[in-house]
Amino acid sequence: DSGVTQTPKHLITATGQRVTLRCSPRSGDLSVYWYQQSLDQGLQFLIQYYNGEERAKGNILERFSAQQFPDLHSELNLSSLELGDSALYFCASTPGENYGYTFGSGTRLTVV
């Protein structure tokens, strides 16, 4: 157990639907990163939050959004889902603005 908890572990949904992925960072970690892992794109950085504020955006689609709550957990919202959104979505946390990433075990999203 890495200390970073992601739920759900698996999610199957239909095209056009909306889902929410949840990440609870390791205790004390202020920064949360979201990554998408797919066969064709590999591991892609989506977005980072630090202590509730958005800090950086990567290759995140406009249909996707995220937030970090006062208790530091984060949610990634994916809407108008397409088949190509099927992927593993990881979150990682760090204590601050450093590189000590701890990854969760991921949410596998399948869009049918």
Partner 1 sequence: AQSVTQPDIHITVSEGASLELRCNYSYGATPYLFWYVQSPGQGLQLLLKYFSGDTLVQGIKGFEAEFKRSQSSFNLRKPSVHWSDAAEYFCAVGESHGGATNKLIFGTGTLLAVQP
Q: Is 40 helix (H, G, I), strand (E, B) or coil?
A: coil
Measure the CA–CA gap between 26 and 71, rounded to whole angstroms. 12
Binding mask 16-35 for partner 1 (x = CB under 8 A): ---------------x-x--
- Nearer residue to partner 1 within complex by CB, 3 or 16: 3
Is 105 one of the binding residues for partner 1 (CB under 8 A)?
Answer: yes
- Nearer residue to partner 1 within complex by CB, 59 or 80: 59
Which uninterrupted H or E stretch holds 110?
A: strand 107-111
Token look-up 């698996």 returns 10
Token look-up 């990440």 returns 23
Smallest distance from partner 1 to CB 84, Å: 18
- Burial annotation 83-105 (CB, 10 A radius, 16+ → b, else e): eebbbebbbbbbeeeeeeeeebe
Q: Which residues in 43-102 contact partner 1 (CB under 8 A)? A: 43, 45, 48, 55-56, 58, 90, 92, 94, 97-102
Binding residues for partner 1, per CB under 8 A? Answer: 2, 4, 31, 33, 42-43, 45, 48, 55-56, 58, 90, 92, 94, 97-106
